[in-house]
Amino acid sequence: MSRPAAAPAADIVVAGGVVVTMDPSRRLIRDGAVAVAGNRIVAVGKRAEIESAHPGARVMGGPDKLVFPGLIDGHNHPIHFLSKGMIDDMRFPERWRNRVWPYEAGLSPEEARLAATGTFLEMIRRGTTCFADPGTFQPDAIAEAAAEIGIRGVVSRMTWDVHDPTAPAQYNDDTASALGRGEATIAKWHGAAGGRIRASFSLVRSAHVTEALVRRVKARADALGVMIHAHLATTRGEMEAALRDWGITPVERYRRFGVLGPNAHLVHMGFVSDEDIATLKAYDASVCHCPSASMFGGFGCVSHGKFPEMVAADVRVVLGTDACAVSRFLDMVRIMYLAACAHKDAKTDPTVIGAHKAMEMATIDAARALLWDRDIGSIEAGKCADIVVADTSGMEWQPNPFANPVANLIYSSDGGCVETVLIDGRPVLENGRFVTIDAKEVSQRAGATSNAILARMGVGLRTAWPCA
Ligand SMILES: [Zn+2]
């Protein structure tokens, strides 16, 4: 049992048939428990020892539960909850120009906050305790929604300083203003809600940011100690345009701009060269893979990506859902399944990635990518208590739920097994019921608001088949 000598009495003890710690030795503790005092984990060990050391604590979980660290969604646009279904089976550029950009540009702060609330409820219900938003016009609405529900996350203000006449007017910012807005969001939200909310810079699309902006963002991010969240090398078209226009890959372009480093969080990254992989390792940059978005959106990150090669080269690869519009689900257990398995097929090699690497990607590696691994990403004494309790009594877990529980979670189950979620020591979901918010009221408002947005945009959600 690991417990500091002066550990305070726990308020809550979370017990499980197995506790998956994700600590440096990746210990799995049978008949384990986690003691939580305030927002921190104060002890991890055998249930009998933890309970006798903390006799006054409320006990959650039980012998048929799997306990694991809160899952971290390394890339999600929370405002997109209300755009679900809007870009099904559409080609891109049309889907951005005709649907995504007008949707984003037209959202009121109230609609953005409602959308983010829906996203966070869906996330928590499936075991996600932390998100990272790659940039929006509405960082205040997202941060306010996160603060209310109790989820942990990183918000940011979109930056964009290359004029694009096909985009709504509010996208087309200038360099100084874009930098200023990004920095204002960091000043307002980094460290808010008792430290549960942080903020980062955003380089939203590599084709829409100038060298001057990239260099200035990097300088300010380093000075402020914050992350830079950037979509990069998403599609074959982006790679081809970079080679045509600049004669180098998107990753090499960012390297020359000086932006690569441990605080660079580069998303999608389906089109990289072998030299780029060596560069990413040398600069200790993070890569965020969003397999469901790529598969739904046809990006090519699974069929053409080099994620097994990046993992083999010890590049830090983490996972994200991207957005409700282009993922359609926010279940990080399903995302882990795709990351664990899709590349086995693409490489015709069943040994690549797998469940245990996928679990690292969604927990401890993601915490490092978000510059937050001192506090989250594993169940260890001293860290924040972001803890998931999943039920293993369902038939999909049988016949041996705890023989290899990480593999069972990712290969056989999904996030529907999640019952209880603690974030920062606080139960936010308890036995399937939200504690901090009326989820039914949110879903009713989301339906009405989504319909109003669709009507405003002149977009109909239709079935492919006649529906009387
Ligand atoms: Zn994205």
Spatial CA neighbour of 202 closest among 139, 251, 285? 139
Q: Which amino acid is at 147?
A: A
61's CB contacts (< 8 A; 6+ apart) are 14, 15, 16, 33, 67, 389, 420
Residue 188: CB atoms within 10 Å: 16
Q: How far is the CA of 120 from the centre of ligand 1 (A)?
A: 16
Q: Ligand 1 centre and the CA of 452: distance in Å?
A: 24
pLDDT in the model for residue 176: 95
CA of 119 to the centre of ligand 1 (A): 14
pLDDT of residue 462: 85
Length of the chain measured in residues: 468
Q: Has residue 426 got a pLDDT over 60?
A: yes
- The pLDDT value recorded for residue 376 is 98
Give the E-state strand segments of 303-445 in sequence order.
316-319, 387-391, 418-423, 426-430, 433-434
pLDDT at 5: 52
Q: Give me ligand 1 centre to Cα 205, in Å.
A: 9
Kindly give the interhelix angle for 332-346 and 354-361, rounded to the nearest 10 degrees: 130
pLDDT tens string 232-243: 999 999 999 999
439 phi and psi, to 5 degrees? -65, -35
Angle subtended at Cα 372 by Cα 367 and Cα 375, rounded to the nearest 5 degrees: 100
DSSP conformation letters of 52-89: HH-TTSEEEEEEEEEEEEPEEESSB-GGGGGGTTTTTT
The confidence score (pLDDT) of residue 96 equals 87
How many angstroms does the Cα of residue 445 sit away from the middle of ligand 1? 25
Cα of 77 vs centre of ligand 1, distance in Å, is 6
CA of 322 to the centre of ligand 1 (A): 5
**Domain ranges across the chain:** 12-70+377-424, 71-369
Q: 140: CA distance to ligand 1 center in Å?
A: 19
pLDDT digits 0-9 by tens, 388-406: 999 999 999 999 999 999 9
Mean pLDDT along residues 86-114: 93
Q: How far is the CA of 44 from the centre of ligand 1 (A)?
A: 36
Q: What's the whole-number mean pLDDT along residues 272-290? A: 98
How far apart are the CA of 323 and the centre of ligand 1, in A?
Answer: 7
The pLDDT of residue 6: 55
Distance 64 CA to ligand 1 centre (A): 37
- For residue 249, give the nearest of 218, 285, 206, 282 by alpha carbon: 206
Question: Is 71-369 CATH 3.20.20.140?
Answer: yes
Tokens of 94: 């049309």
What is the arithmetic mean of pLDDT over 348-368? 98
**Ligand 1 centroid to residue 128 C-alpha, Å:** 17
Cα–ligand 1 centroid distance for 53 (angstroms): 45
- Residue-wise burial string across 189-215, b where 16 or more C-beta atoms lie within 10 A, e elsewhere: bbebbeebbbbbbbbbbbebbeeebbe
Distance 2 CA to ligand 1 centre (A): 39
Which CATH architecture group holds 12-70+377-424? Roll (2.30)
Q: Tell me the CA–centroid distance for residue 464 and ligand 1, in Å.
A: 27
Q: How far is the CA of 231 from the centre of ligand 1 (A)?
A: 6
Q: Is the pTM of this model over 0.85?
A: yes
135 CA to centre of ligand 1 in angstroms: 9
Angle CA(122)–CA(374)–CA(280) in degrees, nearest 5?
85
Q: 166: which 2 tokens? A: 């096909």
